[in-house]
Amino acid sequence: MARDPRYDVLFTPMKIGPKIAKNRFYQVPHCNAMGYTEHHGDIAHRQTKAEGGWAVISTEQCSIHPTSCAAPYGERRLWNDDHVTQLRDWNETMHKFDVLTAVELAHNGLGFSNRKTKEYPLGPSSFPVHYNWDPIMGREMDKADIREFRRWQVDAAKRAVNAGFDIVYVYAGHDIALPQHFLSPHTNHRTDEYGGSVENRARLIGEMLEDTKEAVGDRAAVALRLAVDEMRGSHGITWQEEGQAVVEMFADLPDLWDVNISDWSHDSSTSRFSPEGFQEPYVAFVKKKTKKPVVSVGRFTSPDTMVSQIQRGITDFIGAARPSIADPFLPKKIEEGRNEDIRECIGCNICVASENTGAIFRCTQNPAAGEEWRRGWHPEKIEKKASDNGVLIVGAGPAGLECARALGQRGYTVHLVDSRPEIGGRVTLESKLPGLAAWGRVRDYRRIQIEKMKNVEVHTGTTLSAKDVLDYGAEVVVVATGAGWRRDGVSYSNAEPIPGWNGKRVYTPDDVMSGKELEGPIVVFDDDHYYLGGVIAEKLRAAGHEVTIVTPLMELSRWTEYTLEMEKIMNRVLSMGIELICNHNIVSIGDNSLELANVYYGEKRQHLGYRSLVLTTSRMPNDKLYKELAADPAKLKAAGIKKLARIGDCVAASTIQFAVFEGHRFARELDAEPKGDVPYKLEHVRLERVRA
């Protein structure tokens, strides 16, 4: 199909300094937990975006000096000429696809504590290091330090063009960049020409722009990535005042403005807290102040929103990090008139959590993310079927849906059966909770793809017994029956059931999501520590109930620190009038009260007024069907079943991302040759030339 003419503007070229971008799709700099430590993996991941039609492909942040070391995170480096070889390889791969390449030269200043290089962090003033609460202060830079820093930027810029980059960044964003630390009154307390007024605090950015432009000449464009609002109110940069002043100050000096808000938790806000295009109110002024092109972000997934942004003069380029991960082929699908095939980002930030936990790259929507090189998975291509075996999948949750979709793409005949009246499993239930509507995209994308496949049939409202499965006639049986929330309170803090757990007023999140009416006041006990405890409390509070959350940890939803949501969640529940009791475990459950104990010193106290208790603790696999089938191999053989497997939460309850991944993995590996104990290639990268 040809693309809709409404989207033609998205495919018009645009000049960026001495370079021309072939369209308006711009993959902004973003980390992917690979960098220089997973060199081939990083190249292969970004190569899929080059294939998928993005006009500009950027690196993650690229450190320019050992005083800016992000370890243990594996961000790229351009400390010396030895690092050029890796990045030249990176550029040669991308340039095969007629794209422009961009490098985000970065010095993290007060952002990181240089754990690996053991160098003092640098800053405009003596101020605490921001990231991970390391107990170290940054060293205040003197004039000689500033001159050295400017030299490091110049040297790195020259290395960047020697490595083949088309766009070189001056990076002043996300609250982890030294130029932003100079610009912000929050971190800059100087009294010399680099402190005080906004003109003085912006001086270093201006010098870096001029230095970098001189260093690269006409071989590359120079971009400025600037946080125009720090979301600190009067204590920081705001777009209405100093953000505008800086843009006016340097209006036409950079070849490209890459604008956003900081810190990272605001710039990469999840769909639970921010809609598509949420940064528009902060960045809309920029194009009115400059003649140079502008790129901005906002978790864009809708082509109509993209066109609107350009036509209304908000931006020139559609910047994307997370949407480009969820679907590297987003531009090509729009160009080919296949909008319904876009794997829309759900804004869950599991990709961000990968970086923050040092894990290999992950994406809920795109199970191939991070696996392009090491497993050889392409996000759009898959091996054709290796047999004529028919497949029965029991359970149409995220694992079963992805398994059916991928097996159908391979050409297998698939029957997908679910006991519920609608597909989606936990995704369908959770997407009806406050703030999680976008998570329904996990179901919807797969439903749309499956509906196109004549070789895949879906049957809902059908419960299969073990005998039904044996009689079904499929050669391959996959059990994907999910998991259910425990009713006894067993989890991290309680290895044994909580006394009184089987009372009439004790519920689980499954009860709440199924629409069961609860009587208030309500206590939600959160010993899961991801998102659901807080969301359940929000739902009950919005229904008018008095709600209290009890958690054994110091904060609510502790794991969401990795998805950049924890502070927002705490603010949300407290602003709704939900009482929060931290550092307490439930010792016993009575008819009208809960006995709580402080987790640190064991003091017990009564919490009165409870009429309903929701235990959000842990989940148990719904694996009864699988165990019945697996218990009698002779019956399986007699029924012609060659392979029985279970996938997703039915094996071990985890995130939606993991369920999708395991469904995809099974589909990829069905009838394939075993790969041994290590199912993927390992990176062996020579990082630097060994010197005598």
In tens, the pLDDT along 303-319 reads 999 999 999 999 999 99
Residue recorded with tokens 């690269």: 216
Q: Mean per-residue pLDDT for 123-152? A: 92
**pLDDT digit string (tens) for 410-464?**
999 999 999 999 999 999 999 999 999 999 999 999 999 999 999 999 999 999 9
3-state secondary structure of 213: helix
| 411 and 456 Cβ atoms separated by less than 8 Å | no
Name the residue among 538, 364, 518, 337 with its Cα closest to residue 435.
538
Query: Can 194 be counted among the known catalytic residues?
Result: no
- Tell me: the pLDDT tens digits for 655-691? 999 999 999 999 999 999 888 888 888 887 555 554 4
Average pLDDT over residues 288-317: 97
Rounded CA separation 45/81 (Å): 24
pLDDT (tens digit, 9 = 90+) per residue, 222-264? 999 999 999 999 899 999 999 999 999 999 999 999 999 999 9
What pLDDT sits at residue 689? Answer: 52
* pLDDT at residue number 685: 58
Whether 623 and 399 have beta carbons less than 8 Å apart is answered as: no
- Choose the catalytic residue: 258, 267, 327, 527: 267
For residue 369, list its beta bridge partners: none
Nearest to 349 by CA among 287, 473, 439, 243: 439
Q: Which CATH superfamily groups domain 12-265? A: Aldolase class I (3.20.20.70)
User: What is the phi/psi pair of residue 516, to 5°?
Assistant: -65, 135
pLDDT at residue 609 greater than cutoff 80: no
| Domain(s) of CATH 3.40.50.720: residues in the chain | 391-482+622-669
Cα–Cα distances in Å, from 86 out to 56, 92, 93, 681?
A: 19, 10, 11, 19
The domain made up of 488-620 is a member of CATH 1.20.810.10:
no
- As a whole number, the mean pLDDT across the chain is 95
DSSP tag of 240: I
The percentage of residues in the chain with a pLDDT greater than 90, rounded to a whole number, is 89
DSSP 539-606: HHHHTT--EEEE-SSSSTTGGGGTTT-HHHHHHHHHHTT-EEE-SEEEEEE-SSEEEEEETTT--EEE
Residue 93 three-state SS? helix
Average pLDDT over residues 81-96: 94
Q: Which of 26, 30, 31, 562 is catalytic?
A: 31
Catalytic one of 174, 181, 266, 529: 174
Q: Check if the beta carbon of residue 172 is closer than 8 Å to that of residue 180.
A: yes
Region 69-78 average pLDDT? 88
42 an active-site residue? no
Give CA–CA dist 574/555, Å, rounded. Answer: 12
Instruction: Indicate if 527 belongs to the active site.
Output: no
| Catalytic residue chosen out of the listed positions 171, 282, 412, 507 | 171
Show the tokens assigned to 139: 């060293």
pLDDT of residue 126 exceeding 60: yes
Nearest to 477 by CA among 587, 393, 387: 393
Cα-based distances in Å from 277 to 297, 299, 308, 319, 332: 7, 6, 10, 11, 21
Sign of CA dihedral 359, 365, 369, 372: positive
Over 80: is that where the pLDDT of 178 sits?
Answer: yes
174 is catalytic: yes
Confidence class of residue 44 from pLDDT cuts 50, 70 and 90? very high
The CATH-assigned architecture of domain 391-482+622-669 is 3-Layer(aba) Sandwich (3.40)
Q: Choose among 484, 684, 691, 590: nearest CA to 38.
A: 684
Residues 6+ apart with CB under 8 A from 587: 498, 499, 595, 596, 597, 604
What pLDDT, in 10s, does the model give residues 380-417?
A: 999 999 999 999 999 999 999 999 999 999 999 999 99
Could you tell me which residues are beta bridge partners of residue 224?
170, 257
Q: Alpha-carbon distance 114 to 23, whole Å?
A: 38
For 36, what's the count of Cα atoms within 13 Å in the CB-facing half-sphere?
Answer: 24
SS3 label, residue 690: coil
Residue ranges of the chain assigned to CATH 3.20.20.70: 12-265
The answer on pLDDT for 561 being more than 70 is yes
Higher pLDDT, 629 or 82: 629
Q: Where in the chain is the domain with CATH 3.50.50.60?
A: 488-620
Q: What angle do CA 206, 209, 214 make, to 5 degrees?
A: 130
Please give the Cα distance from 607 to 597 (Å, whole number): 10
Of 31-45, 483-497, 614-628, 653-667, the one with minimum mean pLDDT is 31-45
Nearest Cα to Cα of residue 570 among 552, 585, 557: 557
| Arithmetic mean of pLDDT, 566-584 | 96
**pLDDT score of 692:** 43
Which of the four pLDDT bands, split at 50, 70 and 90, describes residue 1?
confident
Alpha helices in 506-546 (DSSP H): 509-513, 532-542
Q: Are 218 and 185 in contact (CB under 8 A)?
A: no
